[in-house]
């Protein structure tokens, strides 16, 4: 153990706790001890305080005992002559540092200093502060950095964190050696789909400034999140890690040991300190080491090499000037590789032969009109993609052809028609897998940097940026991407892949007609699939790496609660990986048809949940409802007074009639526990005839987030007609109508909602 | 052009650096500044015709960072007689041992 690191971490901790205490006393004097404190749109109060100490801090005054506790973890500086082991003292200091840093950031929100202003900055995906004003702070109006990641984003990243698309996260503190180095490091992390959090500065210059100067797009969509330009904002990644354990691991506040171990073994994160390291950075590093996250520095600092608290080394020094490499990119590659090695990340890198960087982190990248070379689809042209299976002999593997003109003759920022035709063949390929594979075209193409893909089927909309076109990206590269990815990801069901890129107008029109016929056939086929028409349901235990006791049962009429996996997806996944997370479940004997109890499902649930869940009702919210991990798109919850349920979307941050927001409700619905009356589910499950069918079905819905009403207007209309009440949607309240039970009861009584005349739900 | 190096004992973290630089931004005659929270030093190049060191120090003091004064606060100091860490009296002895949960969880990391 390094005495130097221990000294500086302990000194930094002493100082920051003193600073936090002084700030808290000032805030109490200015605003009063009862003044509320919170991080916007997040559950679990101030998450580190809640996770580590079980403290539900909601006011300035409630911070006092927390800082007293932080003080109790402080130690004197190590003696200069007598050297003893310091690891315990250093880790204590780290914990007191993150408690103090969280207090400071929460107080900064009170003073309107968070999220940190950054005039002119536009982020591609950012925490929504529009509803935030609970502690008297004014929501930011101009450009700003992100501040804490909201629950909506945490949950929507959940599935990517568990299925390996997002192998972990890197918290970068400080500023890189040069702007080129900053871009190279971040691009290297992006190409490995590692979520990148940015904080801190050196001499007032942050990596955030460097990336802004270089025009790198930041935000949720590009996996690069700028938290703040100082080390204090590193509390947000620590809070994110704590909330991951509480959200997906089913842990409760105060289970500090379990939360730290959860992070050590399940959250693959590391810190990268760029530039000089001050006392607070050493202290913060000591804090993250407790979480099992190692720290890698690009400067000369002492190292802590033995393992123990982290799985591998604790602190590593890799001075930038000593890294071998002719260019900044080569050095960045080696630095990132070292980080990955030290944290033991498992990375799957797709080797795709295109002239631009490629990885999942580029999936959400937006190509704005000004940066665009050419677009396909959208307002001015038609783009579609169609994948279908053929006989083995009719598919020439590896053939990629462009039929028609390329975009070279199209004026800058112009548009043209495009068809991406994918023919596949395989011994295990089935007709039902066509839509599953076709949907991947969106993800595969989006993985290329500088390419934007939106929509699917005949409403696809693709843009190629000027930067990508300048690097030589052309239409044939769509084929190269699809060929490589289909073989890599679906190699066990696809033996041959042939791709035609069609821009020829006559052929385009001809294939569009054929494709539309096929889409219609698929719609009919999917619509006719019912739970009764199949012998097997499928399990999804993908999230067990985060929520160890949760198991999703996916049936044709009930998709996974994350919304990402339907029955056909699971079936295809089982073909691809027969020992993977999607296993067929023989329904076996039907115990109760109405409530959806099946012998096979119950047996599987017992075994897969390690005995925690013994019975699962597929169609009831009131009796043994299915558990949830934390990735759910919606929460349905009983409102006893209304004899019905409300459905809250995770995109809805407003208050609900239960007096709780989505974030608070999510704490009750997640973590692999069965709570009668509460259920996490996918948003398209609402449209299913089996939605809560044992409890009265869709007619029980009395309140629904308006965003769901808007997003699924047409489908909900069809559901209302199916239920025999075409005006039903108008009888369902939303947050614009009421956010309390009294208002809800008045509304449904006025509208004559059918649930008022239905049997009691319990 | 003159150079000035100031000790900044209370500038121990990068959020202080932002405040210190902000204080310097309003001053005429400052050509360049390097504020190091790692070394708690401020190095300034300035135009001596436009600004005097005393004015720089005054501005820093006004911003809450008086050069050369104060120190990083140490809330807990060792007991002078025994040179012992008094916190261990409060925290008690802690024993590190391999927990069953470590063993269980280590086998279940990402598939």
* Gap between the Cα atoms of A173 and A170, Å rounded: 10
Q: Where are the beta strands (DSSP E) in A166-289?
A: 169-174, 195-199, 224-226, 269-274
Q: Above pLDDT 90, what percent of chain B?
A: 59
Contact A72 B87 (CB under 8 A): yes
The alpha carbon of residue A268 is apart from the nearest alpha carbon of chain B, in Å, by 9
Residue A480 has a pLDDT of 94
Residues of chain A with pLDDT > 70, as a percent, come to 97
Per-residue model confidence (pLDDT) at position A167? 85
Domain annotation covers residue B40? yes
Residue A519, C-beta contacts closer than 8 angstroms, at least 6 positions apart: A457, A458
Report which of residues A459 and A316 the model is more confident about. Answer: A316
- pLDDT for residue A132: 66
B10, B13, B34, B35: which to substitute to probe chain A, counting the most A Cβ within 10 Å? Answer: B13
Q: Which of B8, B9, B10, B12 to mutate to test the interface with A (most CBs of A within 10 A)?
A: B12
Got the DSSP string for A736-749? TT-SSHHHHHHHHH
Mean pLDDT across chain A: 91
What confidence score (pLDDT) does residue B49 get? 94
> What pLDDT, on a 0 to 100 scale, did the predictor assign at position B111?
32
Residue B35 phi, psi dihedral angles, 5° rounding: -105, 115
Minimum distance, in Å, between the CA of residue A105 and any CA atom of chain B = 12
The answer on pLDDT for B75 being more than 70 is yes
pLDDT of residue B81: 60
Residues 39-78 of B with CB under 8 A from A: 39, 72-78
Containing structural domain, residue B43: 2-62
The answer to whether residue B8 is domain-embedded is yes
Among A78-82, A211-215, A690-694, B96-100, which stretch is predicted with the lowest mean pLDDT? B96-100
Q: Which of B15, B75, B108 has the CB atom closest to A17's CB atom?
A: B75
CB contact under 8 A, A203 and B12: no
Measured between beta carbons, the chain A residues lying within 8 angstroms of B38 are 276-278
Confidence (pLDDT) at A151:
87
Determine whether the interchain pair A14/B39 forms a contact, defined as Cβ–Cβ distance below 8 Å: no
Beta bridge partners of A704: A647
Predicted confidence band of residue A473 (pLDDT cuts 50, 70, 90): very high
> Residue A513: is it exposed, middle or buried by C-beta count within 10 angstroms (0-12/13-18/19+)?
exposed
User: B76 and A92: CB-CB below 8 Å?
Assistant: no
Residue A191 is predicted with a pLDDT of 85
Query: Would the pLDDT of B109 be above 50?
Result: no
State whether A71 and B39 contact (CB < 8 Å): no
The answer to whether A18 and A280 have CB atoms below 8 angstroms apart is: no
CA distance A275 to A226: 17
Q: What is the pLDDT of residue A137?
A: 57
Examine residue B6 and state whether it is found in any structural domain, yes or no.
yes
Cβ proximity of A605 and A549 under 8 Å:
no
Contact B110 A12 (CB under 8 A): no
Calculate mean pLDDT across residues A441-453: 91
Q: Which residue did the predictor score with more confidence, A439 or A498?
A: A498
From chain B, pick out residues whose CB is under 8 angstroms from the CB of A581.
111
A vs B: CB pairs below 8 A: 125
**Which residues share a beta bridge with A234?**
none
- H helix intervals, A323-428: 328-343
CB contact under 8 A, B101 and A14: no
With CB atoms and an 8 Å threshold, state whether A231 touches B14.
yes
Which one of B39, B76, B101, B109 makes the best mutation probe of the A interface by having the most chain A beta carbons within 10 Å? Answer: B76
The yes-or-no verdict on residue A724 having pLDDT over 80 is: yes
For residue B25, what are the CA distances in angstroms to A623, B1, B21, B28? Answer: 65, 17, 6, 8
On whether any CB of chain A is under 8 Å from the CB of B82, the answer is no
CA dihedral over B21, B23, B26, B28, signed as positive or negative: negative
Q: What is the mean pLDDT of residues A406-412?
A: 93
Structural domains in chain B (count)? 1
Q: What is the pLDDT of residue A413?
A: 94
Q: Which of residues 14-43 of B touch A (CB under 8 A)?
A: 14-15, 17-18, 21, 34-39
Question: How far is it, in rounded angstroms, from Cα A266 to Cα B99?
Answer: 17
Measured CA to CA, the distance from residue A137 to residue A109 in angstroms comes to 7
What percent of the residues of chain A are helix, what percent strand, and what percent coil, each to the nearest 5? 45, 15, 40
Over residues A277-319, the pLDDT tens digits come to 999 999 999 999 999 999 999 999 998 877 678 877 889 999 9
Task: Report whether pLDDT(B108) > 60.
Answer: no
Residue B81 lies in a domain: no
Q: Are A192 and A358 in contact (CB under 8 A)?
A: no
Chain A residue with Cα closest to B74: A14
User: Is A266–B105 a contact, with Cβ atoms under 8 angstroms apart?
Assistant: yes
Collect all residues of chain B within an 8 Å Cβ-Cβ radius of residue A262: 105
Calpha distance A132→B7 (Å, rounded)? 41
Nearest to B78 among A11, A71, A79 (CB): A79
Q: Are A622 and A638 in contact (CB under 8 A)?
A: yes
Region A639-652 average pLDDT: 94
Cβ of B75 and A18 within 8 Å?
yes
Q: What is the DSSP letter of A139?
A: P
Q: What is the set of domains in chain A, with CATH numbers?
A: 3-343 (3.40.50.2030), 373-445+462-513 (3.30.1650.10), 531-757 (3.40.1470.10)
What ipTM, to 2 d.p.? 0.88
Pick from A77-81, A229-233, B57-61: least confident: A77-81
Three-state DSSP at A176 gives coil
Residues of A in contact with B70 (CB under 8 A): none
CB contact under 8 A, B17 and A203: yes
In whole angstroms, give the CA distance from residue A245 to residue A258.
9
What pLDDT score was predicted for residue A199? 98
Contact A276 B18 (CB under 8 A): no
For residue range A739-748, what is the model confidence (pLDDT) as tens digits? Answer: 999 999 999 9
User: What are the tens digits of pLDDT across the range A474-485?
Assistant: 999 999 999 999
**Which residue among A89, A257, A278 places its CB closest to the CB of B13?**
A278
Nearest CA in chain A to B93: A88
Residues from chain A that touch B91, judged by Cβ atoms under 8 A, are: 72-73, 92
Q: Which residue of B has its CA nearest to A162?
A: B110
- Domain assignment present for residue B96? The answer is no
> Which backbone phi and psi does A459 adopt, to 5 degrees?
-120, 30
CA A340 to chain B, closest CA, distance in angstroms equals 14
Kindly indicate the confidence band of residue A459, based on its pLDDT and cuts at 50, 70 and 90.
confident
Q: What is the distance in angstroms between the CA of the first residue and the CA of the last residue of chain A?
A: 61
What pLDDT, in 10s, does the model give residues A186-241? 999 998 889 999 999 999 999 999 999 999 999 998 999 999 999 999 999 999 99
Query: Is B34–A92 a contact, with Cβ atoms under 8 angstroms apart?
Result: no
CATH code assigned at B7: 3.30.70.100
Which residues of chain B have a CB within 8 Å of the CB of A312?
none
Contacts of B14 in chain A (CB under 8 A): 174, 200-202, 229-231, 278, 280-281
pLDDT tens digit sequence for A235-246? 999 999 999 999
CA distance B105 to B108: 5
Query: Is the CB of residue A230 less than 8 Å from the CB of residue A167?
Result: no
Please report the pLDDT score of residue B83 as a whole number: 61
pLDDT tens-digit map of A603-613: 999 999 988 89
More confident residue, A504 or A249: A504
Residue A530 confidence (pLDDT) above 80: yes
**Would you say residue B38 lies in a domain?**
yes
Task: Concatenate the DSSP letters of all residues of A467-481 into one string.
Answer: HHHHTT--THHHHHH
DSSP string for A433-445 = GHHHHHHHHHHHH
CB-facing half-sphere around the CA of A636: CA atoms within 13 A: 27
Rg (CA), chain B: 23
What percent of chain A clears pLDDT 90, i.e. is strictly above it?
A: 68
Q: Is A458 exposed, middle or buried (CB count within 10 Å of its CB: 0-12, 13-18, 19+)?
A: middle
Selecting from B12, B106, B110 the residue whose C-beta is nearest the C-beta of A279 gives: B12
Q: Does B12 reach chain A within 8 Å, measured CB to CB?
A: yes
A446-to-A367, A463, B30 alpha-carbon distances in Å: 11, 10, 48
Cross-chain residue pair A277–B38, CB shorter than 8 Å: yes
The answer to whether A696 and A598 have CB atoms below 8 angstroms apart is no
pLDDT at residue A651 greater than cutoff 90 = no
Note whether residue B89 is domain-resident.
Answer: no
Give the span between the Cα atoms of A597 and A599, in whole angstroms. Answer: 7
Contact A59, A33 (CB under 8 A): yes
Q: Are A280 and B76 within 8 A, CB to CB?
A: no
Facing A276 at nearest CB: one of B36, B83, B85: B36
Give the pLDDT band of residue A669 (cuts 50, 70, 90): confident
Contact across the interface for B13 and A201, Cβ inside 8 Å: no
Contact B78 A77 (CB under 8 A): yes
In tens, the pLDDT along A129-187 reads 876 655 555 667 789 999 999 988 998 887 777 666 788 899 999 999 999 999 999 99
Give mean pLDDT, residues A95-122. 95
């Amino acid at each position: 153990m390094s005495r130097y690191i221990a000294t500086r971490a302990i000194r930094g901790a002493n100082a920051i706790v003193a600073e936090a205490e002084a700030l808290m006393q000032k805030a109490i004097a200015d605003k009063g001890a009862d003044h509320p404190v919170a991080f916007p749109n997040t559950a679990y109060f101030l998450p580190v305080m809640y996770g580590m100490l079980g403290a539900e801090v909601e006011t300035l005054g409630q911070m006092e005992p927390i800082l007293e506790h932080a003080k109790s973890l402080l130690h004197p500086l190590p003696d200069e002559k007598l050297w003893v082991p310091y690891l315990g003292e250093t880790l204590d200091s780290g914990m007191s540092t993150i408690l103090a840093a969280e207090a400071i950031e929460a107080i900064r929100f009170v003073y309107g200093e968070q999220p940190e202003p950054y005039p002119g900055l536009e982020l591609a995906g950012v925490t929504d502060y529009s509803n935030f004003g609970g502690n008297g702070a004014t929501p930011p109006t101009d450009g700003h950095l992100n501040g804490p990641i909201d629950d909506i984003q945490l949950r929507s990243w959940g599935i990517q964190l568990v299925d390996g698309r997002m192998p972990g996260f890197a918290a970068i503190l400080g500023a890189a050696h040069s702007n080129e180095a900053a871009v190279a490091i971040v691009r290297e992390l992006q190409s490995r789909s590692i979520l990148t959090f940015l904080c801190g500065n050196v001499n007032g210059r942050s990596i955030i400034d460097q990336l802004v100067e270089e025009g790198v797009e930041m935000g949720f969509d590009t996996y690069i999140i700028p938290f703040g330009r100082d080390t204090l904002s590193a509390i947000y990644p620590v809070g994110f890690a704590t909330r991951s354990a509480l959200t997906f691991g089913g842990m409760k506040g105060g289970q500090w040991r379990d939360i730290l171990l959860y992070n050590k073994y399940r959250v693959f994160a590391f810190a990268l300190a760029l530039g000089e390291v001050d006392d607070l950075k050493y202290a913060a590093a000591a804090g993250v080491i407790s979480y099992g996250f190692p720290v890698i520095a690009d400067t000369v600092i002492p190292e802590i090499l033995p393992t123990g608290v982290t799985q591998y080394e604790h602190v590593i020094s890799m001075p930038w000037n000593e890294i071998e490499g002719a260019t900044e990119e080569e050095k960045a590659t080696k630095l990132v590789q070292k980080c990955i090695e030290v944290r033991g990340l498992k990375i799957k890198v797709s080797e795709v032969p295109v002239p631009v960087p490629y990885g999942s982190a580029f999936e959400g990248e937006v190509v704005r009109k000004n940066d665009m070379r050419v677009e396909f689809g959208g307002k001015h042209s038609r783009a579609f993609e169609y994948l279908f299976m053929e006989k083995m002999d009719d598919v020439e593997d590896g053939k990629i052809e462009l039929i028609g003109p390329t975009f070279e003759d199209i004026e800058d920022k112009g548009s043209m028609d495009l068809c991406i035709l994918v023919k596949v063949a395989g011994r295990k390929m089935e007709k039902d897998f066509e839509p599953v594979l076709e949907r991947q075209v969106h993800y595969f193409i989006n993985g290329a940097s500088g390419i934007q893909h939106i929509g699917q089927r005949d409403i696809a909309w693709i843009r190629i940026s000027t930067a990508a076109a300048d690097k030589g990206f052309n239409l044939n590269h769509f084929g190269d991407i699809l060929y490589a990815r289909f073989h890599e990801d679906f190699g066990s069901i696809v033996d041959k892949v042939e791709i035609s890129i069609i821009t020829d107008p006559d052929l385009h029109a001809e294939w569009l007609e054929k494709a539309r016929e096929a889409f219609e056939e698929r719609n009919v086929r999917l619509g006719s699939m019912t739970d009764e028409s199949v012998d097997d349901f499928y399990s999804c235990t993908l999230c067990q790496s985060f929520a160890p006791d949760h198991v999703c049962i996916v049936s044709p009429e009930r998709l996974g609660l994350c919304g990402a996996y339907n029955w056909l997806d699971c079936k295809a996944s089982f073909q691809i990986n027969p020992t993977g997370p999607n296993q067929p479940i023989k329904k076996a004997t039907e115990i109760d048809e109405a409530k959806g109890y099946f012998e096979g499902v119950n047996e599987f649930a017992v075994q897969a949940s390690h005995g925690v869940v013994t019975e699962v009702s597929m169609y009831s919210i009131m009796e043994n409802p299915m558990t949830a991990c934390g990735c759910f798109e919606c929460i349905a919850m009983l409102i006893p007074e209304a004899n019905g349920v409300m459905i809250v979307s995770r995109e809805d941050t407003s208050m609900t009639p239960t007096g709780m927001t989505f974030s608070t409700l999510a704490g009750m619905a997640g973590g692999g526990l069965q709570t009668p009356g509460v259920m996490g589910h996918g948003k398209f499950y609402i449209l299913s005839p089996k939605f809560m069918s044992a409890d009265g079905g869709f007619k029980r819905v009395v309140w629904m987030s308006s965003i769901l009403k808007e997003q699924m207007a047409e489908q909900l209309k069809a559901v209302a007609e199916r239920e025999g009440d075409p005006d039903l949607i108008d009888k369902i309240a939303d947050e614009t109508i009421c956010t309390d039970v009294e208002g809800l009861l008045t509304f449904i009584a006025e509208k004559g909602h059918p649930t008022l005349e239905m049997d009691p739900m319990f | 052009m003159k150079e000035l190096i100031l000790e900044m004992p209370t500038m121990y973290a990068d959020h202080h650096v932002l405040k210190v630089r902000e204080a310097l931004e309003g001053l005429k005659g400052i050509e360049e500044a390097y504020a190091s929270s790692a070394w708690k030093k401020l190095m300034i190049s300035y135009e001596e015709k436009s600004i005097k060191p005393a004015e720089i120090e005054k501005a820093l003091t006004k911003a809450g960072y008086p050069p050369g004064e104060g120190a990083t606060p140490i809330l807990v100091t060792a007991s002078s007689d025994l040179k012992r860490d008094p916190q261990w009296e409060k925290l008690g002895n802690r024993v590190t041992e391999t927990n069953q949960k470590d063993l269980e969880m280590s086998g279940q990391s990402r598939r």
